[in-house]
Amino acid sequence: MAKIAVVGAGHVGVTYAAGLAELGNVVRVVDIDRAKVARLKRGQIWFYEPGLPELLARGLKRRRITFTTSYAEALSRAEFVFVCVPTPSTGDGSLDDSKLRLAFDMIRKHVAEEAPIIVNKSTVPVGTGDIADKLFADAGLRVVSSPEFLSEGRAVEDFFHPQRIVLGSRDDAAAEAVAKLFAALRAPIVRTDNATAEFSKLAANAFLAMKVSYANALARLSEAVGADVEAVTRVLSLDPRIGPGHLRAGLGFGGSCLPKDVAAVEHLARKHDANPDLFGAVLRVNRDQRSRLVDDLLSHFGSLAGRRIALLGLAFKAGTDDTRDSAAVALGEQLLALHADLVVYDPVARLDLVNGDERAAVARSALGAARRADATIIATEWPEFAGIDLLALRGAMRGNVLVDGRGVISPGAARAAGFEYFGFGRGGNGSA
Ligand code: UGA
């Protein structure tokens, strides 16, 4: 059992805190946001993450987790300090590490005579661990760069079943001590230096993004050559060298991680004159996906002004209520700009979709959103939309356009239900 401080009560921080408490540790979480801390003390989590409220409740009940706004309180007698603060993208693609620097300063200021090990979980500019090493050296604090690989919507599962744990440090004993904290999870451990650990996180996310853009580039070509992209990517995915993940064609990747991390890698490549073309192309393909559907709708309807359009989904992916850099939201905003009469529905995400004077109406069900719609767009891959009763959907609408932005509906079944189907790369003869 270790005493652990977690800095930052966001998605990653709360998941790590609750997970580390479940593993038997005593965890104190510090965040500067008073309202957040007050809610978390009552066991209330403001974002949707399956399994996390229950995990947190167990930690609170066993008195293994506390929340505070005081660094001094959180750091008192801590053996480890997990840093979990956001590093959003700046205009030029680099990562904004201002919150991280602030957290480091606060740790440096408040750490007492004990010398905890600093474990950095945030996705950071490469070089941060080495800078932190220098910053903390005179206080005897050791730094371990250990990027998180939690995926939203399955963060609890990812915490307890990690595919790998990366530990970058100059200090073998510190890395070993962190490895011990996770020994029960039996995950492969990669021991390395700070820069390699930091870069491996960016490289992993950039690769996932590249797979999505690759599938989307194949989708375009599939349309041109009369192939079905779903079947093509299935063929690819059966090769273990390629693997099945992140090959679903559609509206492209969004969220708070993939877009910013590819941009960060592109920025690094530009900065070091190391050919950024691949990463730039991944981002360009992704951007194109978002405008492509609007172009399809415009060529079908002529104008979208006054057209009633049901937008199913707001979250950047299924399993989360997160709408940050969501393709669904970007698409909705484009439709509002074209004066479409937009009605949105998402089973979990809540967002007032507004663009200038235009505002989307909100429905309480998918069929409610589709009532009298000229077109329905599936923009998030929620199972509820994949399994929607197509005849009931068609019956609710006045038009017959179904836009499958996530490749979750069989084009054949859609046509059989009376729809004109628009999707990505699924018009080929092989499309079922
Ligand atoms: C991503 C990584 O998957 C995690 O491993 C990583 O830890 C996390 O970022 C992070 O850096 O913290 P996440 O942002 O939760 O996780 O989302 P993903 O599941 O990777 O999906 C990203 C986007 O790609 C979503 O918009 C999703 O709809 C899209 N996507 C995914 C596709 O368009 N096609 C696919 O086949 C898969």
Contact 250, 187 (CB under 8 A): no
Give the pLDDT of the chain (432 residues) as one tens digit per residue: 999 999 999 999 999 999 999 999 999 999 999 999 999 999 999 999 999 999 999 999 999 999 999 999 999 999 999 999 999 999 899 999 999 999 999 999 988 767 899 999 999 999 999 999 999 888 889 999 999 999 999 999 999 999 999 999 999 999 999 999 999 999 999 999 999 999 999 999 999 999 999 999 999 999 999 999 999 999 999 999 999 999 999 999 999 999 999 999 999 999 999 999 999 999 999 999 989 999 999 999 999 999 999 999 999 999 999 999 999 999 999 999 999 999 999 999 999 999 999 999 999 999 999 999 999 999 999 999 999 999 999 999 999 999 999 999 999 999 999 999 999 999 754 455
Q: Which of 124, 246, 286 to mutate to test the pocket of ligand 1 (most atoms within 8 A of CB)?
A: 246
Q: Which of 317, 378, 424 to mutate to test the pocket of ligand 1 (most atoms within 8 A of CB)?
A: 317
Structure tokens at 39: 């809610």
Residues noted as catalytic: 257
191, burial (CB in 10 Å: exposed 0-12, middle 13-18, buried 19+): middle
Vertex 185: Cα angle to 180 and 187 (nearest 5) = 90
DSSP string computed for 209-240: HHHHHHHHHHHHHHHHHT--HHHHHHHHHTST
Distance CA 29, CA 18 (A): 10
By alpha-carbon position, which residue is closest to atom 3 of ligand 1?
151
Distance CA 240, CA 166 (A): 23
Distance 14 CA to ligand 1 centre (A): 19
Distance CA 18, CA 186 (A): 18
Nearest to 141 by CA among 112, 161, 101: 112
Position 130, amino acid: D
What integer pLDDT is reported at residue 430 of this predicted model?
Answer: 45
Distance 45 CA to ligand 1 centre (A): 21
Pocket, ligand 1, Cβ cutoff 6 A? 123, 148-152, 205, 208, 212, 246-248, 250, 252-255, 257-258, 316-317
Q: Which of 95, 158, 166, 257 to mutate to test the pocket of ligand 1 (most atoms within 8 A of CB)?
A: 257
Distance CA 219, CA 228 (A): 8
Distance 236 CA to ligand 1 centre (A): 19
- CB-facing half-sphere around the CA of 103: CA atoms within 13 A: 29
Distance 76 CA to ligand 1 centre (A): 36
Distance CA 419, CA 428 (A): 16
Nearest to 402 by CA among 36, 391, 53, 260: 391
Distance CA 69, CA 8 (A): 10
CB atoms within 10 A of CB 46: 11
- CB-facing half-sphere around the CA of 294: CA atoms within 13 A: 21
Please give the DSSP secondary-structure letter assigned to residue 132. H
For 404, phi then psi, to 5°, come to -100, 90
Please give the DSSP secondary-structure letter assigned to residue 95. B
Q: Is 376 helix (H, G, I), strand (E, B) or coil?
A: strand
CA dist 122 to 101, 110, 314, 350, 390, Å?
12, 20, 26, 26, 43
Distance 193 CA to ligand 1 centre (A): 26
R_g of the chain, CA atoms, integer Å: 23
